[in-house]
Structure 1
């Protein structure tokens, strides 16, 4: 016999019995209940594996009929953590009758990321603190060095009368007059571990929108301001495609072989075409040469350590950004720098002029740089958060 319900409790469990949250609306199967509200006393909180318990006491839910219960994924503290939704979650509905008795419905569902790229990202949202934290797993590799070849001596093969000229050491290509002021580097002065640290610092700096920034202090979500803090970690599991870090010195600044690039993994036809580019970031140090546009002469200059570090930080943040842009916006969106460069040659378009004020988009090309105003654009950080979206697998 049907009877009135006293209350309904809604609980959610993770695979590992941890508190979780969810980034988008979840609709459970329809649940049939009967009764009227008689008490606002919540059910006793379980002591095992509970993720969320939210007694449903509204008349419209307790009345006789068929009801759809919706949950936005946030826990009772208004926090959400996408890492807690991995693999599976369990929903449970318990209905307590007014006169006596209890009935329940329990369902375990398998979960998956909206895109394959969600694997390398965790997102935590705190509504009360207006704060979003992202953890980004990046596979940094040691790409070695370039510009430190010791050269080779000349050789004569007397049997055949062949003379083989030697090769100068890379540092000997720097004019003596320049080296009289500052000696050329003959070995790397930054270890791979140091480059990884700088790379992480750069990603954290340029992919965070917080109030201490010169530009890009927050994002707006439904009219509400949120701070976004990104934390990159070096990882070989559930991570981005590998990104090689290379120490470069005694080099040609204008050579395309000394340009950083990162097409990321193949996702579509455009990203497939872009994969002729290597996935690498150069830490540029010491001497470099370039052609003077006025005189046409080749000239040498020396990079200060502070410049090398800051340039590497920004470059790493930019190159890692191509993986993110391609993941949520597609290969063309990424490879054309959001419409500010050519696709194949990666040359900036004449129409892309540096704004006179405000933010400078980390992922766009401009006619000149301004590092002091450079930051990830709001739409790109929102795209990054979107990649963490988890959905229930269809049975």
Structure 2
């Protein structure tokens, strides 16, 4: 969380937030506690198996949306809400792959396509970020990745003019937005889905957007004098 939700001088880009006309650096210090804490996410260690997706429908909020309440009726067993750590030999669902989808995910903590540590850090920041988006922006804003995906199923939205009739018919959309292409420069929003996303992504540019970090600060009810 401290890497991707902080906006400060330690980053390649996304170094501050602006309040009125002043710039502030933001540092995040996560605390492992059960007091005044948000929903916990079961941690699943997955190895020698198919790639396991993480998920977090978030908490229940008074935003006139009952879907989050319905999801939270399910027991917290790691089926819907979970943080998956994919390490060792992992099988991906790729078609016509020379290795039948199998790749070895090492644990070196380096930026490559198959590093379990770096993937997990990014995934954790993304999944826990749903809670922040939902708390200040509502369930639709969170579940649709700020308009970059559909509501259900949560597939990446096509860019303007490229949505097919099949996608219009089979996908539930609550936001009048178009999909976005992967940014070739500048910040990469940790909470958005992108078209044409490379593998691996440039994690040095991956960061929570200024609006979302300001939303997180707003949730703390911090008084700036």
Question: What CA deviation, in whole Å up to 9, does each residue of 1:133-164 have, x standing for no partner?
Answer: xxxxxxxxxxxxxxxxxxxxxxxxxxxxxxxx
Question: What CA deviation, in whole Å up to 9, does each residue of 1:313-344 have, x standing for no partner?
Answer: 11001111000100000000000000111212
1:263 to 46, 54, 57: 57
Q: Which residue of 2 aligns with 1:303?
A: 105
Within 1, Cα distance between the matches of 2:100 and 2:3?
Answer: 35
Evaluate the alpha carbon distance shift between residue 332 and residue 364 of structure 1 in structure 2; reply closer, same or farther with a 3 A threshold: same
Query: Which has the larger share of strand?
Result: 1
Alignment of structure 1 residues 293-332 onto 2, 5 Å: 293-294=95-96, 298-306=100-108, 307-332=115-140
2:6 to 184, 208, 211: 208
Gaps of 5+ in 1: 1-202
Residue 249 (str. 1) matches residue 47 (str. 2): yes
2:144 to 327, 331, 336: 336
Residue 244 of structure 1: how far off its partner (Å): 1.2
Within 1, Cα distance between the matches of 2:214 and 2:94?
Answer: 42
Alignment of structure 1 residues 136-147 onto 2, 5 Å: none
Within 2, Cα distance between the matches of 1:271 and 1:390?
Answer: 27
Within 1, Cα distance between the matches of 2:202 and 2:124?
Answer: 16
SS at match of 2:54: coil
TM (normalized to structure 1)?
A: 0.44
Task: Give every structure 1 segment of 4 or more consecutive aligned residues whose post-TM-superposition deviation is greater than 6 Å.
Answer: none
1:233 to 22, 25, 31: 31
Alignment of structure 1 residues 342-357 onto 2, 5 Å: 342-351=150-159, 352-357=180-185
Gaps of 5+ in 2: 109-114, 160-179
- Who wins on radius of gyration, i.e. which is larger? 1
Within 1, Cα distance between the matches of 2:101 and 2:127?
Answer: 28
User: Does the 8 A contact of 2:11 with 2:204 survive in 1?
Assistant: no
SS at match of 2:26: strand
Residue 350 of structure 1: how far off its partner (Å): 2.1
Within 2, Cα distance between the matches of 1:318 and 1:371?
Answer: 13
Residue 289 (str. 1) matches residue 117 (str. 2): no
Over the aligned positions, Cα root-mean-square deviation in angstroms equals 2.0
TM (normalized to structure 2)?
A: 0.76
Larger relative CO (CA 8 A, sep 6+): 1 or 2? 2
Within 1, Cα distance between the matches of 2:71 and 2:212?
Answer: 20
Q: Which residue of 2 aligns with 1:279?
A: 81
Q: Which residue of 2 aligns with 1:133?
A: none
